[in-house]
Amino acid sequence: MEPKNKKNIVIFASGSGSNAQRLLEHFEHHPEIRVAALFSNNPKAYALQRAETYHVPAFLFSRDEFYNSDKVVEQVQQFKPDLVVLAGFLWLVPQNFLQAFPDSIINIHPALLPKYGGKGMHGLNVHTAVVQAGDDKSGITIHRVNEEYDKGEFILQEHCPVYTTDTPEELAARVLQLEHKFLPLVVEKLILKKEQL
């Protein structure tokens, strides 16, 4: 029997869900934390299958349900989340959702904010912009979520080099390694209120 007093994570993902996968793996046998549910706005998101593999309930929702009703808020509330993690989720979070889970929603962004943030800055778009700008470093930003894209308080930034020979795909792979390494650690730290990673 699983202990009933585990802390709960709810994941939101729009795509393949490799960060969701890392969270599912990391917390599968965790003594204090579990992934309680995964939500997606994309019926083709591979993240939904990843959740199924780990026997985690998965939910699909429409734009109308997210923005024009409380349906998604109410569904998430059933899982009593200690943290909502946006892991490759591309929609702006509406006010009713922010109010329902104050200071409990985080996002991971594949660049060093405040550079390369905002609407449309996701996936290869970000890495293409970094490479074209000739920056010598990139990385990840894990931040709290507010009513604007990528504007919430920073929790963690980690860097990696950008080489002059990099393609956007090569940079993306390097940044993804940082995402996979640090996202589970930050989630764990926030939920258990640890001071250090």
Query: Which residues does the annotation mark as catalytic?
Result: 109
- R_g (Cα) of the chain, nearest Å: 16
- Token duo for residue 38: 């995964």
Asked if residue 106 lies in contact with residue 31, where contact means CB atoms within 8 angstroms, the answer is no
Measured distance CA(192)–CA(194) in Å, rounded: 6
The region, left, alpha or beta by phi > 0 then psi within -120 to 50, assigned to residue 165 is alpha
Asked if residue 112 lies in contact with residue 157, where contact means CB atoms within 8 angstroms, the answer is yes
Measured distance CA(151)–CA(174) in Å, rounded: 24
Measured distance CA(197)–CA(184) in Å, rounded: 10
Amino acid identity of 49? Q
